[in-house]
Amino acid sequence: MKLSHLSALLSVSDKTGLVELAQGLHALGIKLLSTGGTAKLLAEAGLPVTEVAEHTGFPEMLDGRVKTLHPKIHGGLLARRDVAAHRDALSTHGIATIDLLVVNLYPFEATVAKAGCTLGDAIENIDIGGPAMVRSAAKNWNDVAVLTDAAQYAGVLAELQAHGAVQRATRFALAVAAFNRISNYDAAISDYLSSLELPADDAAVPARSAFPAQSNGRFVKLQDLRYGENPHQQAALYRDLFPAPGSLVSAKQHQGKELSYNNLADADAAWEAVKAFDGASDGPACVIVKHANPCGVALGRTAAEAYAGAFATDPNSAFGGIIAFNVPVDAAAAEAVSKQFMEVLIAPGYSAEALRILAAKANTRVLEIPLDAVQREGATPWARGQNAQDVKRIGSGLLIQSADNAVLAAADLKLVTTRKPTPAQVADLLFAWKVAKFVKSNAIVFCSGGRTLGVGAGQMSRLDSVRIASIKAQHAGLSLRGAVVASDAFFPFRDGLDVLADAGASAVIQPGGSMRDEEVIAAADERGVAMVFTGLRHFRH
C-alpha cells in the first residue's frame, strides 16, 4: 500500500522503537520529516528524511530551544482538511500538511528525579516545541494522528498497513493520551518549580520541599466500581501514575466477584499491615481485617499456622474478613482459610494446588501481588513499596503528611519501670507495636507468642479500648495472663494501666510523653508490669 500523499514528523528524545516505526512508515510511502538528532538517526538507518530546518527554511537555533516553532510546522498540523479557507491558506503560504506526529519530550521527570540535578539542568529539560506540536496535533485529531509513547507505534503501524489510514477512534484515543501526557508533563514541572527554594545561581542544586505550593495529583483510572462505601455513592479506582512495587493497585485477581470499594479499602489495610512483616526475616505472617481494622494478626512457622493464630484472636469478627499473607499460600493454608467465609484473600503467590483448592470458593476474590521488586532496605519509601505521603480529604481541602513509615528496633526502647521485660517479651512488645500501627486510634493490642490476643480499636477513650480488647480476648477464650500490650499513644491516666494489669498483662509498650507519665510508671511498678517507652506515636484516624 502506498500512502505517498501523507507525511510524518518525527521528533523524539527517547529513540526506542523509532527506526522500526520509520522503516514501516517509509515502506508505506509516507514522507519522513524530522528534527536534528532524530533525523540523524533515521539517515544512519538508511531512510530518506527531510530535516525540519530544510523544510521551514529556518535553522534550528538557541541550543535547540527553537526548532519546530514555525508556521510551516504548526500550520501543517493545525489546518483542517475539510475547510476550504484552511486549504487555501496552506497553498497561499506554501505549507504542506503533516498527518502523523511522533514526539516524546525532553526527560524532565527523570532529570529532576536524579540527585544533584541543578536548577539549570531542570530548566533546560523543559521541552517547549514538543508539547506545542503535541497540542496542535491533538487538537486537530480529526486529521492528524499523534503518537507520544513508543508503546503506540506497533498498533498505529498495523492500522496504516491494514486500512491505509489511522482509524477515527484510534486518532481520538491518541489525542486523549497526548493531552494526558502533556498535562502530566506540565504537572511535573509545576510540582518541581513550586517546591524549590530559588538558589543563588542556576548551577546549584536547589533545596526542595515535599509540599509544593501547588499540589498536582496525577492518577490513572483502573476501573469503575459498582458503587462506593454505600450503594447510593458512585465510585472508581485510580492508581498513582507510577505505582510503587508490591502495592494493591498492581494486584492480579485470580478469581472471585468484582472488588467493591469497601473490599479495596479493607484489602489495602490488610495488605499494608501484613507487608510490615518481612517473610524472609520475620517468617510467615497473616492479618485478618474487618472494617479497616486488624481483628487478628499472627506469625507462624507456616502460612497455615500464622492463619490459625490470627483467626483464633477473634473468630466472630473474622467471618467475612479480608485475609492477607506475606508469603505464598500453599495447599495447607488454602485448606485452612477455605473453612471460613472470606471476602478477599491476598498473598504474594499461590501454589497450583492452593489455587485449585480455592477455586471451590468461587466468590472469594483471590488477589496476587508480587513482592519481589520491593527493596526492604530501599533508599526511598517508593522502593520499599510504601507511599511517601498520606492524603486525607477534608471539606474543600486536603491534609497531606509524610506517611507513618517509622520502624522501631529493640535498641530504640526506653525502659521506665523497675521490672525489665524478658527477651521474649521484648519480641512480643515489638510485634504488638507493629500491629498497633495498623489499628485505628485509640488502639490497644494484647499479644503473646507472636500473635494477637485482643484488639481494641477506634474508641474515643483509651480506657474503653483496653476494656474492649480484654473483653474480646475473654470472648475468644484466650487468657491474657502474662500477655504484653501495645498502646498507640500514651496513657493519660493510670486507669488504663490498671485495667490491663487486672486483665493479666505483664509488659506494656507505649510512646510516653503524658503529663502524668510518673503516675502511670508508678502504677506499672506497683502492679509489677514492665513498661517501655517508644518516644514515637502511631495515631491512625
Ligand X SMILES: NC(=O)c1ncn([C@@H]2O[C@H](COP(=O)(O)O)[C@@H](O)[C@H]2O)c1NC=O
Name every residue whose Cβ is closer than 8 Å to that of residue 62 and which is 6 or more positions away in sequence: none
Report in angstroms how near the CB of residue 33 gets to ligand X at its nearest: 11
Report in angstroms how near the CB of residue 170 gets to ligand X at its nearest: 22
Residue 188 binds ligand X, judged by CB under 6 A: no
Residue 66 binds ligand X, judged by CB under 6 A: yes
C-alpha 308/C-alpha 441 separation (Å) is: 26
Residue 109 binds ligand X, judged by CB under 6 A: no
C-alpha 174/C-alpha 180 separation (Å) is: 10
Out of 25, 32, 105, 532, the only residue in the binding site for ligand X (CB under 6 A) is 105
Residue 122 binds ligand X, judged by CB under 6 A: no
Q: Which of the stretches 97-105, 184-192, 231-239, 273-281 binds ligand X when contact is defined by CB under 6 A?
A: 97-105
Out of 23, 24, 28, 37, the only residue in the binding site for ligand X (CB under 6 A) is 37
C-alpha 152/C-alpha 181 separation (Å) is: 13
Out of 64, 155, 378, 492, the only residue in the binding site for ligand X (CB under 6 A) is 64
Residue 97 binds ligand X, judged by CB under 6 A: no
> In the chain, how many H helices and how many E strands?
19, 21
C-alpha 79/C-alpha 140 separation (Å) is: 8
Interface map 432-471 toward ligand X (x if CB under 6 A): ----------------------------------------
Q: Can 475 be counted among the known catalytic residues? A: no
Task: Tell the residue number behind the cell numbers 507505534, with chain if given.
Answer: 153
C-alpha 14/C-alpha 175 separation (Å) is: 20
Residue 177 binds ligand X, judged by CB under 6 A: no
Question: What's the length of the chain?
Answer: 541
Residue 56 binds ligand X, judged by CB under 6 A: no
Report in angstroms how near the CB of residue 133 gets to ligand X at its nearest: 6
Residue 47 binds ligand X, judged by CB under 6 A: no
At 259, which amino acid appears?
L
- Range 221-240, binding ligand X (CB under 6 A): none
What are φ and ψ of residue 392, in 5° steps? -130, 130
Report in angstroms how near the CB of residue 184 gets to ligand X at its nearest: 15
Out of 24, 36, 279, 482, the only residue in the binding site for ligand X (CB under 6 A) is 36
Out of 22, 25, 30, 35, the only residue in the binding site for ligand X (CB under 6 A) is 35
C-alpha 22/C-alpha 1 separation (Å) is: 15
Q: How many residues bind ligand X (CB under 6 A)?
A: 21
Residue 129 binds ligand X, judged by CB under 6 A: yes
Vertex 227, ends 224 and 228: CA angle to 5°? 100
Residue 381 binds ligand X, judged by CB under 6 A: no
3-state secondary structure 477-539: CCCCCCCEEEECCCCCCCHHHHHHHHHCCCEEEECCCCCCHHHHHHHHHHHCCEEEECCCCCC
Report in angstroms how near the CB of residue 158 gets to ligand X at its nearest: 24
Residue 125 binds ligand X, judged by CB under 6 A: no
C-alpha 87/C-alpha 228 separation (Å) is: 51
C-alpha 229/C-alpha 479 separation (Å) is: 36
Report in angstroms how near the CB of residue 106 gets to ligand X at its nearest: 5
Residue 136 binds ligand X, judged by CB under 6 A: no
C-alpha 347/C-alpha 328 separation (Å) is: 6
Q: Which of the stretches 122-130, 274-282, 431-439, 450-458 binds ligand X when contact is defined by CB under 6 A?
A: 122-130
DSSP letter at 249 equals: G
CA-wise closest residue to 247 among 363, 154, 371: 371
Residue 17 binds ligand X, judged by CB under 6 A: no
Out of 130, 206, 454, 456, the only residue in the binding site for ligand X (CB under 6 A) is 130
Residue 69 binds ligand X, judged by CB under 6 A: yes
Q: At what angle do helices 84-93 and 71-78 cross, to 10 degrees?
A: 160
- What SS3 class is residue 415? strand
Q: Which of the stretches 60-68, 173-181, 219-227, 307-315 binds ligand X when contact is defined by CB under 6 A?
A: 60-68
Residue 128 binds ligand X, judged by CB under 6 A: yes
- What SS3 class is residue 111? helix
- The residue annotated as part of the active site, out of 15, 254, 257, 291, is 291
CA-wise closest residue to 270 among 249, 293, 238, 301: 293
Report in angstroms how near the CB of residue 92 gets to ligand X at its nearest: 24
Whose Cβ is closer to ligand X: residue 35's or residue 326's?
A: 35
Residue 13 binds ligand X, judged by CB under 6 A: yes
Whose Cβ is closer to ligand X: residue 131's or residue 206's?
A: 131
Residue 12 binds ligand X, judged by CB under 6 A: yes
Compute CA distances 525 → 141, 503, 515, whole Å: 76, 16, 18
Q: Which of the stretches 6-14, 89-97, 163-171, 277-285 binds ligand X when contact is defined by CB under 6 A?
A: 6-14
Q: Can 291 be counted among the known catalytic residues? A: yes
C-alpha 324/C-alpha 279 separation (Å) is: 12
Report in angstroms how near the CB of residue 41 gets to ligand X at its nearest: 8
- The residue annotated as part of the active site, out of 15, 139, 254, 257, is 139
C-alpha 317/C-alpha 306 separation (Å) is: 17
Do 294 and 269 touch, CB atoms closer than 8 A?
A: yes
Q: Kindly list the catalytic residues.
A: 139, 291
Interface contacts to ligand X, rule CB under 6 A: 11-13, 35-38, 64-69, 103-106, 127-130
